[in-house]
Structure formats: C-alpha cells, structure tokens
C-alpha cells in the first residue's frame, strides 16, 4: 500500500512538473506576443495608469520605451513643434494575432489621429495581424504613437520593418491628418485608402498618372480638394508606389477597419445623390421662373 502511495505521489509530482513547464512556455509565448511601448517621460503614476488601461501588469508583457528624439526622427519638419512637443507621453499596446486576423485599433485620449488613420499607416509600414491600442494619460494629437506601435511590433516579431516604409507611414499619417482638418478625417482616410489601393493595384509610379488618379478618385467620391492637397497627396503616393505592398494584403489587414469606412463611403454616395437632387430642384425652379417671365 505504501509502495502504491509512493508511486502515486511521484506520478503526481511528475504531472505537476510537466504542467508547470507547459504553463511557463505558454506564458512566455504570450508575453513575447504582447509588447507595450511607453512614452519615456511618463511619471510612475502615469505608467501605472497606462498599463491599467491596457489591462496588463508589468510582469505580463515586454515593456519598451520611446523617446521624443525617436518620435522626431519621423515627424520633425512635417508637423508643428507644438504638436511634436519636447517630451514623449504617447504609448502603445501591440498584441500579435494569428495569420489572416488582420489589424484592429483602439484609441484613448487621442484627439487628432483616428483608428482608421493608424490602421492605414500601419499597413503601409508593414505591420500586420495585430491588435493595437494607442493611448496617453491626457489628450494628445496621437501622431507620435505610430513610432511606438512600429517599435513594439518589431520587438514582438523580432524583425525590423523597412525604414522607407516607416517613413512613408508617418508621411501618410500626417498628410491624412492635415487633409482631414479641411475635409473631415473619415473622408480623408477613405480617399487616401482608395488612391493607395488603385496605385498599388495598377503598379503606377509615373507622377502625372498618380496626379490624375488622385483627381479622378476625389471626383468619384465627390470630395473637393485643392491644388495644395493634390500636391501633398501626389508626393505621398509617389513614395508609397515604391514600396513592396499588395492590394490583397491591404484589403485583408484592413477588413475590420473597412467596415467603418464603408459607412463613410455610403454617406458620401448618399450626400452625392442629395446634392444632385438639390441641383435638379434649382434647375426646375429657374426653368419655372423663366417660363413665368416669358408668359
């Protein structure tokens, strides 16, 4: 009896040991798949606030820091000093997902960059199959968070993104934001995605053809843009046209995000129809008025 109990005890200890090793491996993999990028100038209290928002503990995830100097490497000269600032507070949570799950984005205390803008720029940078949260302890523009997202993704995958792609992604984010200030952020994100996909699909690199596509798509979406907008979009698209991107990958990665943009496109189409109805009504009124005066 004692011998049986002894063997059982040994067996239980072996099973528990195997379970603990397995759990350790799973935990290690989970930890490696999740990386948090914290702004280097966050106070200790703000760090805790951000980690609570991300619903993680320090021992559960890999934590890295992003400095203002790193943010400036991509943004200096593209947006105002006031927007860039001199300290880094923007933070990001990046969790790697299974293949074909695409990109999902949440934002907290971000008042200038939308989740659609982040997603579009992330795809340009080469980020894929990831759940991302961009956040700050107080309201910020959010432009600097993209640096943290890219850095966290590289840390999680162990692979570096193309420097040209990262530069283009930041250009895209800033260009979309500036255009959005004039025509609305959702319209700007939708317009840039449509143009980008057309250029990549048709492998267009000629500057004049790029300009014509920008003008055509803006007209198709009934979005009024200025010559300055066209110049900015053309410069961005020329840069993007040189990257190794595919439309299939973009569509798959943005599948979750595109559900929101589809509503924007539907609204644009509806407004387009309403605008035409107003024009028709005005034409009928002046026709009636002309007939009345002739009578």
Q: Using an 8 Å Cβ cutoff, are 38 and 63 in contact?
A: yes
Q: What's the token pair of residue 122?
A: 């992330």
Q: What are the mean pLDDT values of the chain's consecutive 10-residue runs (295 residues total)?
A: 49 44 41 90 97 96 96 91 89 96 97 96 97 97 95 97 97 96 96 96 97 98 97 97 94 81 50 56 62 61
Q: Buried (b) or exposed (e) across 47-66, using 16+ Cβ within 10 A?
A: bebbbebbebeeeebbbbbb
The answer to whether 90 touches 136, Cβ cutoff 8 Å, is yes
Token pair recorded at residue 283? 């034409």
The residues that bridge with 108 in the sheet, in sequence order, are: 135
Sequence ranges of the domains in the chain = 2-25+34-270
pLDDT at site 7? 47
Three-class SS state of 130: strand
CA distance between the termini of the chain: 119
Residues 52, 93 contacting (CB under 8 angstroms): no
Q: List, in sequence order, every residue forming a beta bridge with 93; answer none if it has no partner.
A: 36, 133
pLDDT of residue 192: 97
Q: In what order do the strands lie in the sheet with 62-66?
A: 62-66, 34-39, 91-96, 130-140, 103-110
Report residue 62: phi and psi, to 5°: -80, 130
Q: For residue 102, report the phi and psi dihedrals to the nearest 5 degrees.
A: 75, -165
Under 8 Å between Cβ of 195 and 245: no
CA 67 to chain centre: 20
pLDDT at 269: 52
Q: CA–CA separation, 197 vs 124, rounded Å?
A: 11
Residue keyed to tokens 């924007």: 264
Q: How far is CA 86 from CA 10, 57, 66, 259, in A?
A: 61, 28, 13, 36
What predicted TM-score, i.e. pTM, was given to this entire model?
0.78
- With the C-alpha atoms ordered 196, 174, 51, 127, is the resulting torsion angle positive or negative? positive
Closest CA to 259 of 115, 99, 96, 121: 115
């Amino acid at each position: 009896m004692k011998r049986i109990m002894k063997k059982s005890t040994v067996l239980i200890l072996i099973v528990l040991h195997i379970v603990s090793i397995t759990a350790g491996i799973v935990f290690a993999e989970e930890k490696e798949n999740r990386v948090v990028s914290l702004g280097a100038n966050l106070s200790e209290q703000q760090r805790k606030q951000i980690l609570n928002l991300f619903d993680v503990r320090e021992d559960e995830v890999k934590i890295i820091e992003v400095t203002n100097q790193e943010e400036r490497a991509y943004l200096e000269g593209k947006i105002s000093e006031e927007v860039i600032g001199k300290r880094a507070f923007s933070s990001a949570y990046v969790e790697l997902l299974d293949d074909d799950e695409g990109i999902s984005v949440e934002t907290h205390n971000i008042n200038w960059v939308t989740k659609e803008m982040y997603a579009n720029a992330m795809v340009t940078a080469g980020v894929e199959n990831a759940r991302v949260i961009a956040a700050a302890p107080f309201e910020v523009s959010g432009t600097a968070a993209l640096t943290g997202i890219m850095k966290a993704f590289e840390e999680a995958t162990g692979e570096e993104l193309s420097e040209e792609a990262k530069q283009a992604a930041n250009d895209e984010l800033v260009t979309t934001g500036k255009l959005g200030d004039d025509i609305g952020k959702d319209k700007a994100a939708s317009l840039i995605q449509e143009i980008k996909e057309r250029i990549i699909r048709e492998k267009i690199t000629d500057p004049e053809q790029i300009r014509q596509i920008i003008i055509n798509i803006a007209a198709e979406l009934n979005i009024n843009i200025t010559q300055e907008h066209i110049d900015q979009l053309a410069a961005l698209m020329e840069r993007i046209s040189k990257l190794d991107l595919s439309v299939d990958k973009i569509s798959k990665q943005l599948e979750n995000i595109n559900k929101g943009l589809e509503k924007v496109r539907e609204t644009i189409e509806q407004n387009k129809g309403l605008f035409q109805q107003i024009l028709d009504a005005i034409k009928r009124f002046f026709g009636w008025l002309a007939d009345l005066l002739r009578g």
